[in-house]
A and B are shown apart, each in its own frame.
Chain A
Amino acid sequence: MIHNVVASIGYRLNEHIKNALSLSEEAVIISSLVDLKGNVNPEIENKITIFLLNLEEERIAKNGHFQSSPGMNPPTTVNLYLMFAAYFPNFNYMESLRYVSLVIEFFQSQNTFSTSDTPLLSSSVEKLSVELSNVGIEDIGKLWSNIGTNYIPSVSYKIKHIVFNGNNISENVSSITKIQ
């Protein structure tokens, strides 16, 4: 599910940047910036790299479903925090700022995603909404040291309400002691 959501949004963002800049090569890659040894992935150069920053459970949505489906576990709703980082080597700093601007422009023009407007999105995803996630100036250092690189121009977004619902019925009815 998560891989499908990230790939679908990445596909639409790639389309947007390629059309805006008249590019023929891909402009977006879904990858981590560095491997466990700290080596920079060469594939990320001159592109927007999307990677997962964090994942959290949406607890408010959980309460609403509790009684509506007896016999079933409530669905798990999660929010994804995705980072969109523009890595342009050789001090091509302005270009990276331009790409980050295009990411912001894309999500400003489209802040919801559904199967009707996102071709790769799984049919089990009803609707996703996106909002910009602010990272405080004091947290940036910690964040990028955890990522394993120096800071590069980037923006993070929160992808809201990815629902995992297997529709499995579990046994939670009272025991029947007698049938007449």
Chain B
Amino acid sequence: MEIIFQKMCPPLLKFNNVASNSMNNRFDYTNDFSKILELSFYHEFFSDNNFVDLELIPDGETNALIQNYNLIQRKKGNTFFFFKNNNSNLSSLVFSGAVRLNFILKFNDPLFLNISDIPFKFQQKFILEPSKAEKGRLHPQTYVDETLVKPYDENGIIGEISIEINQNNEFFGYEEKENTMEYLKYFARFNSRTVKFRYNFYFSGKKNDFGNFFIYDENTNDKYNDFYQRTLENGMLVNSFVLPEEIKMNESYTHKLYLKKEDEFNKSFSKYLSHPLPKNLKYEVEKKTFYLENFIKIN
């Protein structure tokens, strides 16, 4: 589809355009690109499921190919788009045949390891390729999982994406045939890590009597008083409480927990317990459990 925009000229140019005896100039812009490939990324951690904070970097060979084929790569939100120029000579037989595109997926979110349901270590590389299980999916299971992890010498976590396009000359080298091929759509979906909330309470003074306190869950009306004492790595003694429910990490939670006190004289004590932040993740090897921690001072 070719779209022509008309733009009115500013008054100064009108003055200079006496010879044409026209009141305005006309500029025609032709924009004739077609989308050939779309790569989208999703993450269950985010409320809108869109995984935005990443980069798609073509490897050297793919980069040269993008230049030779005059392709344009753009990113919008969680999706990377590739466009071809319909006015270039890509329909020529010279460009026929399958083309393999290889990309490195770079995760810019410093908390990616915390929030994602992947092995809790660095030096991981995910190999993402089109799956036969579902059209467009870049991994065999519903989410990217540890079966896709390959050894990686460098530090950090990256993804490697390999996609073959133009097997049937849909986009390039189709010569004179009618080209009505739909663009290709691929996606990858990351799951969020399953954790338990652990609240750690400490007093501002030396007082550490925690006998009358309890946790109240406003959503379920449940009460909990199974606190246990533990010593933090900095030597501080805290009273900890673990919410029994396993929770998928998310940007926001619906839990409404309060610390209350059974006290004859102070029945009104009530403190809202804020949701733990994703940076406060701790893995306990013995219990094989991820805890999302919150530290709360009681005056």
CB-nearest residue of chain B relative to A23? B268
Whether B4 contacts A178 by the Cβ 8 Å rule is: yes
**Within A147-180, which residues are at the interface with B (CB < 8 Å)?**
174-180
- Assuming the contacts A22-B265, A22-B266, A180-B1, asked whether A119 and B272 have C-beta atoms less than 8 A apart, the reply is yes
Whether A117 contacts B5 by the Cβ 8 Å rule is: no
Provide the bound-state CA to CA distance between A27 and B256, in Å: 22
Nearest Cβ on chain A to B195's Cβ, whole angstroms: 14
Whether A39 is near chain B, meaning CB under 8 Å from some CB there, is no
Whether B253 is near chain A, meaning CB under 8 Å from some CB there, is yes
Provide the bound-state CA to CA distance between A15 and B296, in Å: 15
Whether B275 contacts A22 by the Cβ 8 Å rule is: no
CB-nearest residue of chain B relative to A18? B268
**Within A43-90, which residues are at the interface with B (CB < 8 Å)?**
none
Q: Which of B256, B266, B268 has the most CB of A within 10 A?
A: B268
Chain A residues lying within 8 Å of B274, measured Cβ to Cβ, are 116-118
Chain B residues lying within 8 Å of A117, measured Cβ to Cβ, are 272, 274-275
Whether B271 contacts A19 by the Cβ 8 Å rule is: yes
Nearest Cβ on chain B to A20's Cβ, whole angstroms: 6
Whether B5 contacts A176 by the Cβ 8 Å rule is: yes
Nearest Cβ on chain B to A111's Cβ, whole angstroms: 14
Whether B299 contacts A20 by the Cβ 8 Å rule is: yes
Whether A24 contacts B299 by the Cβ 8 Å rule is: no
Interface string of B1-24 (1 = CB under 8 A from A): 111111100000000000000000
Interface residues of A toward B: which range?
A: 20 to 34
- Assuming the contacts A115-B252, A177-B5, A177-B6, asked whether A15 and B275 have C-beta atoms less than 8 A apart, the reply is no
Whether B270 is near chain A, meaning CB under 8 Å from some CB there, is yes
CB-nearest residue of chain B relative to A19? B269
Chain B residues lying within 8 Å of A175, measured Cβ to Cβ, are 5-6
Whether A123 contacts B265 by the Cβ 8 Å rule is: no
Chain A residues lying within 8 Å of B253, measured Cβ to Cβ, are 116
CB-nearest residue of chain A relative to B270? A15
Whether B267 is near chain A, meaning CB under 8 Å from some CB there, is yes
Whether B277 is near chain A, meaning CB under 8 Å from some CB there, is yes
Nearest Cβ on chain A to B114's Cβ, whole angstroms: 15
Whether B4 contacts A177 by the Cβ 8 Å rule is: yes
Number of A-B contacts (CB under 8 A): 54
Nearest Cβ on chain B to A177's Cβ, whole angstroms: 5
**Within A1-51, which residues are at the interface with B (CB < 8 Å)?**
12, 15, 18-20, 22-24
Whether B272 contacts A116 by the Cβ 8 Å rule is: no
- Assuming the contacts A19-B270, A22-B266, asked whether A180 and B4 have C-beta atoms less than 8 A apart, the reply is yes
**Within B246-299, which residues are at the interface with A (CB < 8 Å)?**
252-253, 256, 265-272, 274-275, 277, 299
- Assuming the contacts A116-B277, A119-B256, A123-B252, asked whether A15 and B4 have C-beta atoms less than 8 A apart, the reply is no
CB-nearest residue of chain A relative to B267? A24
- Assuming the contacts A116-B253, A174-B5, asked whether A18 and B270 have C-beta atoms less than 8 A apart, the reply is yes
Whether B272 contacts A15 by the Cβ 8 Å rule is: yes
CB-nearest residue of chain A relative to B274? A117
Nearest Cβ on chain A to B82's Cβ, whole angstroms: 21
Provide the bound-state CA to CA distance between A115 and B47, in Å: 13
Provide the bound-state CA to CA distance between A176 and B252, in Å: 43
CB-nearest residue of chain B relative to A14? B270
Nearest Cβ on chain B to A32's Cβ, whole angstroms: 27
**Within B97-153, which residues are at the interface with A (CB < 8 Å)?**
none
CB-nearest residue of chain B relative to A178? B4
Chain B residues lying within 8 Å of A23, measured Cβ to Cβ, are 268
CB-nearest residue of chain A relative to B298? A19
Whether B4 contacts A22 by the Cβ 8 Å rule is: no
Provide the bound-state CA to CA distance between A19 and B270, in Å: 7
Provide the bound-state CA to CA distance between A66 and B5, in Å: 23
Provide the bound-state CA to CA distance between A123 and B253, in Å: 10
CB-nearest residue of chain B relative to A123? B252
Chain B residues lying within 8 Å of A20, measured Cβ to Cβ, are 299
Nearest Cβ on chain A to B273's Cβ, whole angstroms: 9
Chain A residues lying within 8 Å of B299, measured Cβ to Cβ, are 19-20
Nearest Cβ on chain A to B277's Cβ, whole angstroms: 7
Which 3 A-B residue pairs are closest in the complex by CB-CB distance? A117-B274, A116-B275, A180-B2
Enumerate 25 A-B pairs (CB-CB under 8 Å) in ascending A order: A15-B272, A18-B268, A18-B269, A18-B270, A19-B268, A19-B271, A19-B299, A22-B269, A24-B267, A115-B252, A116-B275, A117-B272, A117-B275, A118-B272, A174-B5, A174-B6, A175-B6, A176-B3, A176-B4, A176-B5, A177-B4, A177-B6, A178-B4, A179-B1, A180-B1
